[in-house]
Amino acid sequence: MKSNYAFKHLDYSDALVQYADSRFIEIGKFLLKDGQFNVYFWKDRHEFFAEVTVNSPQKYFKAVAHADDIYVAMDLVCSKLEKQFLKIKEVYTNHKKSAA
Query: What's the CATH number where 85 sits?
Result: 3.30.160.100
What pLDDT is stored for residue 51 in this prediction? 96
What pLDDT is stored for residue 86 in this prediction? 85
CA distances from 1 to 12, 35, 66, 94 (A): 20, 5, 24, 25
What pLDDT is stored for residue 55 in this prediction? 87
What pLDDT is stored for residue 11 in this prediction? 92
Question: How many structural domains are present in the chain?
Answer: 1
Alpha carbon of residue 43 to chain centroid: 18
54/86 Cα distance (integer angstroms): 14
Amino acid at 90: E
| 51 in any annotated domain | yes
What pLDDT is stored for residue 35 in this prediction? 75
Q: Please list the ranges in the chain whose pLDDT falls under 70.
A: 30-33, 97-100
Nearest to 67 by CA among 85, 38, 42: 42
What pLDDT is stored for residue 15 in this prediction? 94
| 100 in any annotated domain | no
- φ, ψ dihedrals at 96, nearest 5°: -120, 135
How large is the C-alpha radius of gyration of the chain? 15
What is the residue range of 61's domain?
2-94
Alpha carbon of residue 51 to chain centroid: 8
What pLDDT is stored for residue 39 in this prediction? 94
